[in-house]
Amino acid sequence: MNWNKEYDVLVVGSGASGFSAALTAKLEGMETLLIEKEGKFGGATALSGGGVWVPNNRYLVEAGVADTFEEAKQYMDSTIGERTSDLMKETYLHKGIEMLDYFHTKTNHMRFSYATDYSDYYAHFPGGKAHGRSIEPLIFDARKLDDWEKLMLEPTLDTAGFVMTGQDFRYVNMLTRTWQGKMRALRLGLRMIKSKITGARFVSLGQALIARFALSYKEAGGELCVNTAFEDFVVENDRVIGIKVKKDGKEMYLKARKGVIFGSGGFSKDQEKREKYLPKPTNHEWTSSPEGQTGDLLTPAEKLGVKFDLMDKVWGAPSIIDHEGKPYFLVADRAIPSMIIIDQNGDRYLNEAIPYHEFVDKMYEHDTKTKGKAIHSWIIVDKRTKSRYLFDTLFPGQDFPKEYYEKDIVRIGNTVEELAEKLGMKPEKLKETIERFNGFARNGKDEDFGRGDNPYDRYYGDPTLKNPNLDVLDKAPFYALRVYPGDIGTKGGVKKRSLRD
């Protein structure tokens, strides 16, 4: 084999998993190359919220959050069950803490803060914590990346110049409702002014996580190549000794003296693979994942005799598709009080505020039961919702873009009955559904689906209400937008291969 280059370790994929591996290898003294198929690094992580769930880690301890290994293990057992082995769960719990300590000690940039009160998704399960175990990266000035700054994948969400953490958003969403919301919005405004005066380019969430990884890796002397796509393994005597890649359209062979690590494999953007593996209907236009997520690892891995698992699962992300065809992931929007999500029959069929991955699973379950009435669903809000809360990136009181009306993204009715007719459903049915929901809202108890009963539901809710997630829908006009079973990536991948390690 005529190798173009040789390294100790080759890492494929530049999301958090790829950067974690590449940074660790480099810090341990190994010659390391990280490759990225797209022209910019960051992958799905750069587009994400950047949250990290590691129980009992140093940042939780510093924040005074009570937790134990036994409680965390109990929580994983109650949520995952026997789907994952005890060895795997215990390894995660121990090594997660070790990882965060390692990066904190070995780098100057891998720094996080406790996401105060961001509940575990299933805090009501045994071992769950209502105050939560999540951490998020500190805001970062991307200018520090110097020549790498322009190579980082940019977010798709327009925040009108405001840079906010997940904790910021929780309060800013209550801008019109609480003094905390007003003060947090003021802080964001001052941050924006500071950036304009100093020229700083502050980033948060997944952008901050990737930027911190990238600078740490760069300062350690690691190599990074974008526009470099993995194509195949190079195998000798039943061992992978390197990989074939295509760099700027040119084939190259890279040797790995110690190993090849993959932080890639998602196939959300590949319609053929979606049709093969995922529940139907499915569409690559619904995903919020990067363009490069086309599962390039899968076919070469299959040739090596590997086994795959979880290929039918996605990280579900209920989404609105805007007038430009871009998905908008409904996270906090599903927790605001005066809002419901219904199927094409006009029925509510779930707790709208449940964790996003579970929401999409329930969409498919209900779609099967109703023979195609849940995909696509509708999210309905009224004038009260629009005047009080952030919704679909819009500030309180801000109307939808005119293109939303022109391209049938949003439908509007001055009465519930008029809206129903525009949605192609029976007016009396939609009216009955909304009246039933309004009754629950007045009493503060969702008797059908328990919205607001769990800490996770309440995190993005309105603390001024009896039930933070319930308020009546009765202020015309009424708006409806389609909800699609989107995703932020597929879960499936290599489980075991037939070749020896």
Instruction: Give pLDDT tens digits for 448-463.
Output: 999 999 999 999 999 9
Residue 393: exposure state from Cβ atoms within 10 A (0-12, 13-18, ≥19): middle
98: CB partners within 8 A, 6+ apart:
none
Q: Which residues pair with 319 in a beta bridge?
A: 329, 484
pTM of the predicted model as reported, rounded to 2 decimal places: 0.95
Question: Quick one: pLDDT at residue 501?
Answer: 36
pLDDT band at 187; cut points 50, 70, 90 = very high
Question: Quick one: pLDDT at residue 155?
Answer: 85
Is 441 a residue whose pLDDT tops 50? yes
| Side chain identity, residue 424 | G
pLDDT in tens, 282-305: 999 999 999 999 999 999 999 998
Question: 110 with 213: CB under 8 angstroms?
Answer: yes
Got the DSSP string for 363-421?
HHHHHHHTTSSSSSEEEEEEHHHHHHS-BTTBPTTPPPPHHHHHTTSEEEESSHHHHHH
Instruction: Name the one residue in this structure whose structure tokens are 């503060």.
Output: 444
φ, ψ of residue 33 to 5 degrees: the values are -125, 130
pLDDT band at 474; cut points 50, 70, 90 = very high
pLDDT in tens, 255-281: 999 999 999 989 999 999 999 999 999
Distance CA 339, CA 352 (A): 9
pLDDT: is 494 or 23 the higher one? 23
Average pLDDT, the chain: 95
Strand, helix or coil for residue 106 = helix
Residue 57: exposure state from Cβ atoms within 10 A (0-12, 13-18, ≥19): buried
Distance CA 70, CA 211 (A): 34
pLDDT in tens, 111-120: 999 999 999 9
The domains located in the chain, with CATH, are 5-223 (3.50.50.60), 315-488 (3.90.700.10)
Question: 306 with 495: CB under 8 angstroms?
Answer: yes
251, two tokens:
């084939």
CA-wise closest residue to 246 among 225, 265, 224: 225
Question: Quick one: pLDDT at residue 265?
Answer: 81
391, two tokens:
């919704």
Question: Quick one: pLDDT at residue 247?
Answer: 95
Question: Quick one: pLDDT at residue 104?
Answer: 98
Question: Quick one: pLDDT at residue 499?
Answer: 38
**Residue 248 CA: distances (Å) to CA of 2, 227, 254, 486:** 19, 6, 15, 31
| 82: number of Cβ within 10 Å | 7
Question: Quick one: pLDDT at residue 162?
Answer: 83
pLDDT in tens, 206-224: 999 999 999 999 999 999 9
Tell me the H-state helices in 424-473: 427-443, 455-459
